[in-house]
Chain A
Amino acid sequence: MSTTSPAQALLLAAVLFATGMLGVLARRNLLLMLMSIEIMLNAAALAFIAAGARWHAPQGQVMFLMILSLAAAEAAIGLAIILRLHAAGRPTLDADTGNRLKG
């Protein structure tokens, strides 16, 4: 039986994390930066699931649930900040102009 190897899943997690980091560093659009952070969080979750599969332990999925709630809170607050910046009269989503958010 050709078994699914958790080691390959760890390699994919590394690739996904590097891709997400590339997005965070290279993009200037706040929305795209948030999406890249989601990719990085998913890579971490994949690493946890793969480790849980490697050691036959449910702790990996417990940590996945923690990452899931963290990502949900992070997305809600980040998107609220983006909408607030937009409502403050900012024409673009450039991350370099965040100083308009006063207070």
Chain B
Amino acid sequence: MPDLPFLLFSLVAAAAAIMVVTRPIAVHALLYLVVVLLALAGLFFALGAPFAAMLEIIIYAGAVMVLFVFVVMMLNLGRPDRDRERHWMAPAVWIGPSLLSGLLLAALWPALRAAPPAGPGSPTVIGPEAVGIMLYGPYVLSVELASFLLLAGLISAFHIGRDIRGTGTGTGTGTGTGDA
């Protein structure tokens, strides 16, 4: 039986995720997505991973969500977009995707129910020290690969976001990748 904060965070995360995929207005979905990320940070904390919880708040709910907010502001969505979105989200559209993801869930659920129960003893807290030793010990190559990935993301976002007309004022997408 899970403890109360874990159950609470789980319910909040699942409900907010469903709200994200059903909101017609992008900003509302974005705010619900922040709620999902904060609830997941609480879950990570409950699972004994405080380092991951803090990174989830700082990088995901902080930096990545700020990128999304910037893009929503620059796109300048209005009432026509909202009406078009409501038109796109007719109930008939949801039948096929709901069947498919329900099928996925039905396939995953029994397999995960059969997972072995919690390990011996109470869940131990794995702090940043153990993670750092592991990162710069056996996993140093994957750290390098992650830095390659971030550099590639920076360069390609700068390349895609550069001003095509050459008037000097860029579209500003290159600046956002500094958060990454």
Contact = CB atoms under 8 A, between A and B. Distances in A.
Contacts of B21: 19-20, 22-23, 26-27, 32, 36, 39
A65 B146 contact: yes
Contact of B40 (A15, A46, A81): A46
Contacts, number: 265
A41 B102 CA distance: 18
Interface residues of B, number: 92
A47 B100 CA distance: 21
A7 B130 contact: no
Contacts of A70: 146, 149
Nearest to B40: A42
Query: Chain B interface secondary structure, helix, strand, loop or mixed?
Result: helix
Nearest to A79: B71
Contacts of A39: 17, 20-21, 33, 36
Chain A interface bracket (under 10, 10 to 19, 20 to 34, 35 or more): 35 or more
Nearest to B143: A65
Contact of B115 (A7, A15, A84): A7
A22 B18 CA distance: 9
A3 B97 contact: no
Contacts of A87: 164, 171
A57 to B, nearest CB: 8
Query: Max chain B CB contacts within 10 Å: which of A3, A54, A92?
Result: A3
B75 to A, nearest CB: 6
Contact of B101 (A18, A27, A56, A73): A18
Nearest to B3: A2
Contact of B47 (A18, A53, A93): A53
Contacts of A46: 40, 43-44
A83 to B, nearest CB: 5
Interface of B: 1-3, 6, 10, 13-14, 17-18, 20-21, 26, 29-30, 33, 36-37, 40, 43-44, 46-49, 51-52, 55-56, 59-60, 63-64, 67-68, 70-72, 74-75, 81, 84-85, 88-89, 93-94, 96-98, 100-102, 104-105, 108-109, 112-113, 115-119, 122-124, 126, 130-131, 133-135, 139, 142, 146, 149-150, 152-154, 156-157, 160-161, 164, 171, 173-174, 176-177, 179-180
